[in-house]
Amino acid sequence: MNRFLIPLGAFVLLAIVLAVGLKHSPEKGIIASPLIGKPAPVFTTTLLNDTSAKFDSAEFKGHWTLFNVWGTWCFACRDEHQALLDIAKRKEVRMVGLDWKDEDPTATQWLQDQGGNPFDVIATDHDGRIAVDWGVYGAPETFLVNPQGVIVHKYVGALTMEAWEREFLPRINAKS
């Protein structure tokens, strides 16, 4: 009896360790952002197709903003594009896009192919520095920035209307 006790105990222990590991493992690669609750990173950059105009992170102040990091090379961005267009129609937030590592003409063509531009303004991140500052590790990523310029929520992966209503709207309604 006793000689089975130790292996059995070891097995149970290992099972517990692995179960905890599985439960806490970054679910589908989603890692909680340490930026939640922090002010949005400060940056200034040119707009898509308009190198004379700038987007400044100070513009986050004063209204709720959906900040969406996308790229034409990103397949999941195609999946979420209709959701972004639908959200834009509802006029609940200012829509700011960050075009991550793209050429401007390619990005413009891509937006046309996807059925239009959902964004009020599109900032560009040609060399990827802004995305690093935001802790972005895979497009698409969508941030919710409150009128004080603080990051309230981050959504990784293709955004859907359900996710918008479940994870974003309650936060806007609770605090505005």
Partner 1 sequence: MTRYFVTSILVCLLAASPVSYAVDTTQMPTPELQKRYLGLTHELRCMQCQNEAIADSPVSLAADLRRQVAEMLNAGKSDDDVRNYMVARYGNFILFRPPVSTKTIWVWATPGILLLIGAAVAVRITRQRAALVDQDNEPVEEDIRSS
Strands (E), 41-149: 44-47, 50-56, 65-70, 94-100, 121-125, 141-145
Number of residues in contact with partner 1 under rule CB under 8 A = 21
> Judged by CB under 8 A, does residue 18 bind partner 1?
no
The reply to whether 131 sits near partner 1 by the rule CB under 8 A is: yes
Which structure tokens are listed for 66?
């959906």
84's tokens? 């972004």
Q: Within 39-98, which residues bind partner 1 (CB under 8 A)?
A: none
Q: Is the Cβ of residue 74 or residue 95 nearer to partner 1 in the bound state?
A: 74
Provide the Cα torsion 86, 142, 42, 172; round to 10°: 70
Chain length of the chain: 176
Contact with partner 1 (CB under 8 A) among 6, 23, 91, 173: 6
Binding mask 99-118 for partner 1 (x = CB under 8 A): --x-----------------
Interacting span for partner 1 (CB under 8 A) from 29-37, 76-84, 85-93, 108-116: 29-37
- Minimum distance from residue 3 beta carbon to partner 1 (Å): 11
Residue closer to partner 1 by CB (options 22, 174) is 22
Measured distance CA(176)–CA(136) in Å, rounded: 26
The bridge status of strand 94-100 relative to strand 121-125 is parallel
Return the residue of 29, 37, 62, 105 that touches partner 1, per CB under 8 A: 29
Q: Which is nearer to partner 1, 95 or 158 (CB)?
A: 158
DSSP string for residues in 30-45: ----TTTTSBPPP-EE
Q: How many CB atoms lie within 10 A of CB 117?
A: 19
